[in-house]
Amino acid sequence: MDYLSFDLRLADWTPATGTGVAEVLHSPVGEGDRYPFRLDPDIVTATGNTRRTPSEALHVGKVLSRAVLAPAFTQWYESYQVARERGRGLRLRLHIDSWELTRLPWELLYDGRRREFLVFDPLVSLVRYLRLHAPPPTIRQGRSLRVLAVSAAPHDQVPLDWEREQRMLEDALTELTAAGQVEVIPCAHATYERLHTALMENAPDVVHYIGHGHYDHERALGMLLLEDAAGRSAPLAAPEAARVLRRYGVNLVVLNACDSAQGTWAGLAPSLVRAEIPAVVAMQWPVEDQAAIRFSHAFYRALFRGRTIDECMCEARVGASGSSADPNDWAAPVLFLRSVSGRLWVNDITGGPDRRTPGSVRRP
């Protein structure tokens, strides 16, 4: 599905008063005037990594929607109708200028008319869009894809069932790997040296990270927790992660790491987007293993069937929504997008001639 864009900027946030200014920068029916919004300090401080009951998630979604979408409802509704009449979806691109607003769970925005969360509308996509003084990255030509499955499980962190998720990732791609259209390359117990070597030798299109992440609030710095030679945590800060991934032309990064979406430019996911990676998926709070596995399963099957990244996120949220002890884990994944079309490859991934050798799931 192709999308029309509805660009909503949230800026001029003043924590002391809980006020900011919103503005529709662009929509299918034109621009909009600036308008003020206010959020209760309790909403701002209570979100982030806190776990919510269904009723609490619904409350947060309604509060956020009333604050920033309700004043622009007419423009949003008219844009939605235009997109539907043209056979398109409507992509809500959030331009967020402050760290305090970035960390809010905008994925919980609620449509009171339909009595459903906005992201579950088949015609709606919600993405975080970071404005850069650079053109959107150029997408690659369609071809068979290499997925580097990077996993790290430092023994001084909470145990994570990374082996099961990697098996699910491989199972999700069985048909495509058998056809030689996808190659899954494991990089287990990743140290920085192993990650660098795997990137240098394979030049993957996608990096899927299974492990832990961290956001240092005092230093405003996001990081991945790789392993050192002794199996302990070895933090890889956002600037260094962005540098090494950018060098080898990675087109999509999936960060299945708690806290990886937190922060603005200092956070890991925004830093990768700033490094001109077209799309980054990150987790804004820890999720149950089963939800993470289901999310990956649905996400990659949609991706490797040639869907836009927006559609992949929608399918993955549906897949995760009924598979976790935490009923709100579907809202944890956040999509940071710089690709205008939402397509990361020029041609459908599953189309075209076979260009790789079949049986392309490597073993460590």
**CATH number for the domain including 165?**
3.40.50.1460
Do 22 and 102 sit in the same domain of this protein? yes
The answer to the question of residue 10 being in a domain is yes
SS3 state at 135: coil
- Give, as one character, the DSSP assignment of residue 161: -
Please tell me the pTM assigned to this model.
Answer: 0.83
pLDDT of residue 34: 95
Domain identity same for 182 and 298: yes
Reduced to 3 states (helix: H, G, I; strand: E, B; else coil), residue 169 is helix
Longest CA pairwise span in the chain (Å): 60
Smallest CA-to-CA distance from 98 within 44, 33, 60 is with 44
In Å, how far are 101, 158, 295, 358 from 213, measured between CA atoms?
A: 20, 11, 18, 34
- Could you tell me if 330 and 233 lie in one domain? yes
Residue 350 lies in a domain: no
Contacts of residue 73, defined as CB under 8 A and 6 or more positions apart, other chains included, come to none
- Assess whether 101 and 68 both reside in one domain: yes
Domain count, the chain: 2
pLDDT tens for each residue of the chain, 364 residues long? 889 999 999 999 998 899 999 999 999 999 999 999 999 877 776 655 445 678 888 999 999 999 999 999 999 999 999 999 999 999 999 999 887 888 899 999 999 989 999 999 999 999 998 776 556 555 555 566 789 999 999 999 888 888 888 887 888 778 778 888 788 999 999 999 999 999 999 999 899 998 888 877 777 778 889 999 999 999 998 889 988 998 888 889 998 766 666 654 457 788 788 777 888 998 887 777 778 778 888 888 888 777 889 999 999 999 888 765 677 889 988 999 887 777 776 554 444 433 333 344 554 4
- Same domain membership, residue 236 and residue 198: yes
203 in the same domain as 273: yes
| Distance in Å from the first CA to the final CA of the chain | 37
Looking at the domain assignment, is residue 348 inside a domain?
no
Two structure tokens written together for 199: 């990137």
Q: Are residues 19 and 160 in the same domain?
A: no
pLDDT given at position 153: 93
Residue 342 counted as domain residue: no
Residues spanned by the domain of 110: 3-128
